[in-house]
A and B are shown apart, each in its own frame.
Chain A
Amino acid sequence: MSAPLVDIRNVSHRFGQLPVLKDVSLAIEPGSYTILLGPSGSGKTTLLSILGGFVTPSEGKVFIRGQDCTAVPPAKRPTTTVFQDYALFPHMSVGGNVGFGLRMRGIDGATRAAKARDALALVGLAAAFDKKPHQLSGGQRQRVALARALVIEPAVLLLDEPLGALDLKLRRQMQDELKAIQKRIGTAFVHVTHDQEEAMALADHCVVMNDGGIEDEGPPERVYARPKTRFSATFMGESTILAGSVSGAENGIVTVSTAVGPVSLPGAPPAGDTVALAIRPEHLLLGEARGSVALGAGKVGDVVFQGSFKRVLAASALDAALQFIAKAPASATVQAGDTIAISCNARDIILLAD
C-alpha cells in the first residue's frame, strides 16, 4: 500500500494554556472523503486549520505527499479551504472569484476565464460567471466557494462546516452534489461537521472527535454499527446505554450484570471490568419478550411521531435513571403512560469498555 496523502503525526495544540488537540495522529488516503465529526470544542476545526496552514501546531508534524508541511503557509501547500462563511470576495464577480487563485499563479486572462468557467460548470453554475456574490443564494455561494477552491487543483480540499449555513433541505441536496463532485474529480476531501447524518452520508472515512482527541475512526458503517467508545455510540446516532460490570467470562461469552439483570453476549473483557452496553434504537424491541435478551419493563414517557417511524422514550421500571430510546414502526400503537416489555438480541448489543 502506498504512503498516505496526508500524514498527521502526534499533533498537539494549545491556545494559550488551553489544550485543544491532544496527541492526534491521522492518515488521509488519496481520493478519500474524510469527515471530521464532533461537537463544538472537540478540536475538529483546529485540526482542519492545522491542515490548511492557518494554525501551526504546538507539537507534532504534518506531512502532505511525504513533505513536512507543518510550518508551510497556506499559499504554499497543496491544500485549499472552503470557509464556513464562504469568504467570497464581495467586490469581485463570480468569475473573478473563481479565477483569483489562477491569477495569483500568473496565469493569463483567457486561460483563467476558461478554467473558471469549467470549474463553475462542474458545480452547476456556468451561468453565474458575471454575477456578483451578493446576487446569489446561499447554496449558490457555497458552490462558487467550492469552484474557487477546486480550480487550482489542490491535492486536498478542506471544507469547514460547508453546509452549516444552509437550510435542511438544501443541505441534503448539497451533500449529494458534494459527494458526486468528489467522486468525479478524485481529489481528497476533508470535511468538518457536527452533523452525524452528514457524516454518514458523505464519508469514506469517518473520524469522531471529542475533547481534543480522536474517539473512533473508520468507515461510517463500522463506526455506526460497532462504535469503539461510549462517546462515539451516543454522538454518531443515538444509543441506550446500560452501565454494568463483568460478572463472568467464559469461552468468549461474557455475562454483564446491569440494572436490568444479567446480560450475556460475546466479548473478551475479564470479570470485574466495568463496561457499558450500547443498543441502537432500531435494535430495541418493544412488546412481549421478542428478543433473546430481556431488558425488563419500561414506562413510556414520550412518543414522538417522526414520519416513517415513532421515537419512543421509556424509563426502566427497574432503574428510573435508565432511559430507553427506541424506534417503533409508524403504525405502533404505543402511547405515553404505557408500561411495556423491552428486549433485544444479544448480537445487536455493543460492548464498550468504560
Chain B
Amino acid sequence: MRAAVRLAAWVYAIAVYGFIFLPVVVLVLFSLQATSFPIPPFTGPSLRWYQAVLADARLTSALVNSLLVAVLSSLASVTLGFLSAWGFARFVLPGSALLRGLITLPLTVSYLIIGMGLLVLFNWAGVPKSLLAAGIGHVVINLPLCFAIIYSQMGDHQINIERAARDLGAAEWKVLLLITVPVMAPAIFAGFFLSMTFSWDEFVISFLLTRFETTLPVEIWNLLRSGLNPKTNAVGSLVFAVSIVLVVFFELTLLRRKPA
C-alpha cells in the first residue's frame, strides 16, 4: 500500500514535470527544424532559423532595446524602492501604513490597466509613444516589487547596525553607502534581478506605449501574425536562454551569499 502510494506520487511528479516542459521542449526542438514549418516530423537539426534571426535587424535591435529598457528601468525601480523602503523602515512617518500601501498598490493591478492608464495620460499630455514611455511603465510595475522585497528584509537587527555606525561618527550618507547598501545587498540584488526578468518579459505595456522602436516581446508578437514559423521558435529559444542565464546567475549569487 505505502509503496503503491509512493509510486503514484513519483508518477504524478514526473507527469507534472512533463506537462511543464512539454511546450519548452517542442519550442526548442523545432527551432532546429530544417524545413519551413515547426510541426512534426522533425527534419533538423539545423541552425538556419537562428541565422535568420540574427540577420533580422528588427529583431536584433528589439533585443538591444529590451535589454536597455530592462536594465535602466530595473535600476530606477531598485533605487526608488530601496530609498523608500529605508525611509519607511527607519523613520516614523505620519501616515506610514497608508503611504506604504500606496507604493505597493500597483502590485494588485493588471499590467493591462497600468498600460491603459499611461496610454490615456500620455495621449492627453501629448507624450509620444517611445521606449522611454514603456520604461516608465516598467518602473511602475517593478518599483512596488523592489520596495516590498527590500522593506520585508529590513529587520530590527539592521537598525542597531546602522545605529552603531552613526554612534561611531558616520554621517547619514556614509551609513547608507557603507553599511545599509552592503548589508541589504541580497535583497537589493533580488529586487534588481526580478525586475530585470519582469521587464525583459513584459509585453502589454510595451505594446501599448511604443510605436516604431519596440521591445523584443512586441516584435515576437508581430512575428506571430505570420503563423507558425521556426524563426519564431528560434527567437523564442534565444529569449528563453537569456532568461535562464539571468535566473541561474541570480540563484548562484544569492545562494553563495547565504550561509549554510
Contacts and interface: CB of A to CB of B under 8 A. Distances in A.
Interface size bracket, A side: 20 to 34
Interface in A46-85: 52-54, 73-75, 79-81, 83-85
Contacts of B157: 85, 87
A101 B160 contact: no
Nearest to B185: A91
A134 interface: yes
B165 A89 contact: yes
Contacts of A79: 167
A83 B163 contact: yes
Contact of A87 (B161, B170, B185): B161
Interface size bracket, B side: 10 to 19
B247 interface: no
Given A104-B174, A134-B259, A87 B163 contact: yes
Report which residue of B169, B174, B182, B183 has the largest number of chain A beta carbons within 10 angstroms of its beta carbon: B169
A152 interface: yes
Nearest to A106: B169
B93 interface: no
B66 to A, nearest CB: 33
Contacts of B171: 75, 104
Given A89-B183, A90-B183, A83 B160 contact: yes
Nearest to A98: B168
A74 B183 contact: no
Contact of A104 (B161, B170, B183): B170
Contacts of A324: none
B164 interface: yes
A52 B157 CA distance: 18
Interface in B233-260: 259
A44 interface: no
Interface string A86-120: 01111100000000110011000000000000000
A152 B161 contact: no
A98 to B, nearest CB: 10
Interface string A242-262: 000000000000000000000
Given A85-B157, A87-B161, A91-B183, A80 B170 contact: no
A104 B178 CA distance: 11
Contacts of B163: 54, 74, 81, 83, 87
Report which residue of B161, B183, B185 has the largest number of chain A beta carbons within 10 angstroms of its beta carbon: B161
Interface in A110-159: 134, 148-149, 152
Contacts of A75: 166-171
Contacts of A152: 168-169
A148 B160 CA distance: 14
B75 interface: no
B164 A104 contact: no
Contact of B168 (A54, A73, A85, A148): A148
Contacts of A85: 157, 160
Contacts of A53: 167
Given A87-B161, A90-B183, A101 B166 contact: no
Contact of B169 (A54, A84, A87, A105): A105
Contacts of A100: 165, 168, 170
Contacts of B174: 104
B28 interface: no
Contacts of B72: none
A90 B169 CA distance: 18
Given A89-B183, A90-B183, A104-B174, A52 B160 contact: no
B82 to A, nearest CB: 16
B168 A87 contact: no
Nearest to A76: B169
Contacts of A89: 161, 164-165, 179, 182-183
A85 B158 CA distance: 10
Given A89-B179, A90-B183, A91-B182, A73 B166 contact: yes
Nearest to A80: B167
B260 to A, nearest CB: 11
Nearest to B162: A87
A275 B167 CA distance: 46
A74 B167 contact: yes
Report which residue of A81, A88, A89 has the largest number of chain B beta carbons within 10 angstroms of its beta carbon: A89
Interface of B: 157, 160-161, 163-171, 174, 179, 182-183, 185, 259
10 contacts: A74-B167, A75-B166, A75-B168, A81-B167, A87-B161, A88-B161, A89-B164, A89-B182, A100-B168, A104-B174
Interface of A: 52-54, 73-75, 79-81, 83-85, 87-91, 100-101, 104-105, 134, 148-149, 152
Q: Please name the 10 residue pairs, one residue from A and one from B, whose CB atoms are nearest each other, closest first.
A: A101-B168, A104-B169, A87-B160, A87-B164, A91-B182, A74-B167, A75-B169, A87-B161, A83-B160, A104-B170
